[in-house]
Structure formats: structure tokens, C-alpha cells
Structure 1
Amino acid sequence: MTRLTRYAFQKSMLCLLTAASLSACETVQTTQAGTVGVDRSQRMMVPAAEIENAARQEYGQLIAKAGQQGVLNRNPTQVERVRAVVNRLIPQAVNFRPDAVKWAWETNVLSSAEVNAWCMPGGKMAVYTGLIEKLRVTDDELAAVMGHEIAHALREHARERASQQMVANSVITVGSALLGLGELGQKGAEFAYMGLLGLPNSRAHETEADRVGIELAARAGYDPRAAITLWQKMAQAGGGEAPKFLSTHPSREDRLNDLTVYSQRVMPLYEQARSRR
């Protein structure tokens, strides 16, 4: 077999492998589009139940450890405040996916200096006291944070990333062997994947979570424009940011511009919610 013929064969095999990996993925629409119009279809290779079971186990272990360390729900006032905000957001999740009403939602506050909050697949949430105290968040800003995190769970971004990584790993590993790239070549391919596909997809996830999050907040009667002041506070707390092409988050300017546009789009929902309260 000549070098050219061998290369053509290897390339064909790699294409077949890629096609086979992609064909194993299920194309799904995890959420309805909502007013913000998030309607991108997603390709999933990892079963939803598998991700949710892993998240439930991890959350249980994390909360148990926090209890043992004495950092779980130490401040009743903070816990009551966080849960009051979240409990107004949760009912709005059905506007994006009706099955969310069946989720075993749970919210806890962890004493930590870290400015952070998250929502695992299936609705298991945590807010760190550093976010509340360092940023001095208003209830509207807290709703923006938790709406964003809930949106990640509704859109099943963790499952999507796991699926993408599963496909990428199989293609890169076998492709490197077929093309004789060796360990160094495989590492190069991995970095290329992250730069050309992995990181941009993560930025797309963040933008989707921003948009869905402000709609959840607006429908719950929280001012969606608070997302803008929230991320301005985040930027001040975080100092300098990484270059856009190396970040899993949108650039500061892009994020603020997008939030400005979409917060205005959901203002009618906010006004309607306020009139009902």
C-alpha cells in the first residue's frame, strides 16, 4: 500500500469512526424555547438517568460532608432568604420543561469564602456564603444567579458536555493510532478539540443559561436587569479575565451586551408577574 493510499484509507477509517460515534448520539430538544428563544437541538450519547444518578450520589456525599464539617446551613436567615428566592424560581421551570415539576429539588447554603453557586442535574442546588456576602447581592441579583444555574440543569448541559467528551475521546484516541500521531500528536489533537469545539460549546452553554435564567427570574417577579449589575459585580470581584478564546465563558463585554438585549425582551413578563403579586 502506497503512502498516499494508506493515508486515504486512514482518513476514511477516521471518518467512519466519527460517523459511527455521532450516529450513537440521540438528538434531543431538552427544553422549550421560551420567550428568549433558546431552541438549539442537542446530541446526547450519555443517558439522562446515568447523569442524574451520579449527580444525586455526589450531592448526597457533598452535603453529608458539609454537615460533618459544620458548614451546612449555618445561618438560618441566609438559608431562608436563598430558599425563598429559589422557591419562586422553581415553579417557572415548567415553562421550559414540564417534567421539571417532578424533580426532587433541594437547596442548601454552604459556608465558604468562594463566590459560587450551582445546580446539579435533577435540581440539587447549593449557594456559597461568599457569593451572598462578598457581592452583597440583592434578591433580584440572587435570582439572576440561581436562574442561571437552574437553566444549566434544565438544558442538561452537563450531560451534553459528557456526551461531547465521550465522542471526542474515542475519535481522538483511535484517530491518533490510525494516523500514527503518537502521544504528542494525540495531545495536540486534544488541545485542538478544546480550542475549536470544546471551549466554544461551553461559551454557548453559558449564553443559553444567561438567557433562560433571566426569563425564569422575570417570570418569578424578579427584575431581569439585575443580571447586568450581578455580572458587573462578578467582574469587579474576579479582577482580570482570561482572553476570550481561552475562556469557557463569554467575554465580559459580550455577556453584558447580551444580557442587556435579553433582559429587555423579558421585561413584559416581569411587569406581568409584578402586577400579580
Structure 2
Amino acid sequence: MNSMKPLLLSLLTTALLSGCVTTESPTGRGQTLLFSAEQMQQMGDSSFAEMKRQQKLSKDKRQTDYVNCVARRITSVLPNQGQPWEVVLFDSEQVNAFALPGGHIGVYTGLLKVAEGPDQLATVLGHEVAHVLANHGNEQVSRAQLTGVGMQIADAALGGVGVANKDLYMSALGLGAQVGFILPFGRAQESEADAIGLELMAKAGFDPAASIALWQNMDKAGGGQGVELLSTHPSHGHRIEELQKRQAQVLPLYHASQAGVKNRCQLGK
């Protein structure tokens, strides 16, 4: 059996490649995707169910309603508006949030102390939903399958150990800090999520200028070390500069959206 493993691994890689799709991200960047939308939804559903088992859910109705309000406005401007989104507020001091394929959004109460107001919270949620919209999770899982990490998983499976890739999939979907297996999104993916997220929040009626203040707050909150959100979503020097450059482009979307905004999503006291 051991002598056959290299051949089996090679055949597995060939099979994966034969099923891949080469496409373009919303910004025109090339992507190799090995998994179908249905498979990604299954991974997202499974990962979110696992997170709800692992993490304490918030019982604060006021905060939960507030987070749901902002999330609903963001998801209401997505291309596939028929996709229902489940939003959960986790009771944790982590300054973090995530979105998963299959229509799932998780927010930690610690984020509400750093994201000041609905516009800043919308910056984070728009950014996270943008990762899903741009198939970044699929891209990450696909990349992992075609690298040494993927080969280790395949080797374990061929050895009869069973499915050992839960943490890998959860990490690739943006849950690295939570499962202790870090596979952060790359710089190109982060830049796309910033750009797409900025457009989403503007279309949803949130002030895109708040994105700059939000990331400044994130840096301050980490005391030079960065907060949890930045550990899985690496910040780079020109992030704020790029957001500033995009303001003129998205401001018309923001102004056009104002007439249709009925719920301002205030947290209140």
C-alpha cells in the first residue's frame, strides 16, 4: 500500500485539477476553483453549525437586533437577494466577524466596542460578505488541496484515518483564529474584499467614509499588535490609502441610496 501512495496522490491531484473551474473574481483577477457552489454551501453550513456549538451566543436582544439590522441592509443589495442569511451574535470579547458560504454571518460582541456606529459595523460586514461574494473561501480551500497541506489531508484519508480536514476547511473559510489553524486570506483577496465591501455598504446606505475611521480604530484597539480581525485579515500599509482613493467612486452610490433607507440601525441605550 505504501508504494502505491505516491501514485494514488498523483491520481487524486489529477482528478481535482480535472474538476476545477478557472474563472475571474468580481475585480477581474483569475481564480482556480475546485468546489461547486453546493459543496461550498455544505462547508459553510457545517462550519457555522460547529461555531454555534463551540461559542457562547449573546442573549442581548438590543445588540442582536442592531447587528441583524446592519446585516440585513448589507445582504439586501447582494446580486442574489433570494439567498437567506443567518446572522448570529456571539458573546465574546473578540474583535471579530466572519461570513460563510451558504448565507451565514457571525459577529462577536467585542467588535461593537471598536466599530463605532452602524456605518463602521457595515464596513466590517460588507468586507466579510464580500469574501463570500468573490468566492475567496472556495479559492482558499482549492489552493490548500493543491499544496502540501492538501497532500497531507489526502495522505491521511488514503491511510484510512478518515476525514481530517474540518479545521482546514474552517480556516480556509476565514475561521483560522477560532479553530487554531491559520490560513489567512491573501493580499489580493483582502484588497478585493475592501473594494467590494465599500461598494456594498454604500449601496446599502452606509457612509463609506466610515471605512477609514473603522480601520484606524482597529489599529488603535490592538495597541500596535492588531486586533483579532486583523490577525486573520492581514492589514497592509496602503489599505486606508486605497479606501480614500475609492471614496469618490462610491459616494454617488451612497447618495443615491439615502432616499430608500428607512431603518438607520441605531444601537440605542
Identical-residue share of aligned pairs (%): 37
Report what 1:225 is aligned to. Answer: 209
Alignment partners' CA distance in 2, 1:93 and 1:221 = 13
2:21 paired residue among 5, 17, 26: 26
Asked whether the 8 Å contact 2:145–2:151 carries over to 1, the reply is no
Asked whether the 8 Å contact 2:202–2:208 carries over to 1, the reply is yes
Q: Within 5 Å, which residues of 2 pair with 1:3-22? A: 22=17
Alignment partners' CA distance in 2, 1:205 and 1:223 = 23
Say which SS state the counterpart of residue 93 (structure 1) adopts: coil
Residue type at the aligned position of 2:117:
T
Q: Deviations over 1:27-56 (max 9, x none)?
A: 1346xx4xxxx2223211123322211220
2:239 paired residue among 230, 239, 255: 255
Asked whether the 8 Å contact 2:115–2:214 carries over to 1, the reply is no
Q: Within 5 Å, which residues of 2 pair with 1:166-245? A: 166-169=145-148, 202-240=186-224
1:56 paired residue among 45, 60, 75: 45
Larger Rg belongs to: 1
Q: How big is the shift at 1:76?
A: 0.6
Say which SS state the counterpart of residue 236 (structure 1) adopts: helix
Q: 1:25 to 1:227 in 2, by over 3 A?
A: same
Asked whether the 8 Å contact 1:202–1:248 carries over to 2, the reply is no
Structure 2 unmatched runs, 5+: 1-11, 153-182, 262-269
Alignment partners' CA distance in 2, 1:49 and 1:209 = 22
**1:273 lines up with 2:257 in the alignment:** yes
Q: Over the residues paired in the alignment, what is the CA RMSD in angstroms?
A: 3.0
Report what 1:72 is aligned to. Answer: 57
Asked whether the 8 Å contact 2:115–2:121 carries over to 1, the reply is no
Asked whether the 8 Å contact 1:117–1:125 carries over to 2, the reply is yes
Asked whether the 8 Å contact 1:207–1:250 carries over to 2, the reply is no
Alignment partners' CA distance in 2, 1:136 and 1:221 = 17
TM-score normalised according to structure 1 size = 0.70
Report what 1:112 is aligned to. Answer: 92
2:130 paired residue among 148, 151, 154: 151
Q: How big is the shift at 1:220?
A: 0.6
Asked whether the 8 Å contact 1:203–1:248 carries over to 2, the reply is no
Q: How big is the shift at 1:263?
A: 2.5
2:70 paired residue among 77, 85, 106: 85
**1:101 lines up with 2:86 in the alignment:** no
Asked whether the 8 Å contact 1:151–1:209 carries over to 2, the reply is yes
Structure ranking higher in helix proportion: 1
Say which SS state the counterpart of residue 239 (structure 1) adopts: coil
Say which SS state the counterpart of residue 266 (structure 1) adopts: helix
TM-score normalised according to structure 2 size = 0.72
Alignment partners' CA distance in 1, 2:109 and 2:118 = 14
Alignment partners' CA distance in 2, 1:140 and 1:172 = 43
Alignment partners' CA distance in 2, 1:225 and 1:251 = 18
Q: 1:169 to 1:110 in 2, by over 3 A?
A: same
Residue type at the aligned position of 2:146:
V
Q: Deviations over 1:41-94 (max 9, x none)?
A: 32111233222112202212322444xxxx313111101111111111111111
Runs of 4+ in 1 over 6 A off after TM superposition: 17-21, 170-173
Alignment partners' CA distance in 2, 1:79 and 1:167 = 39
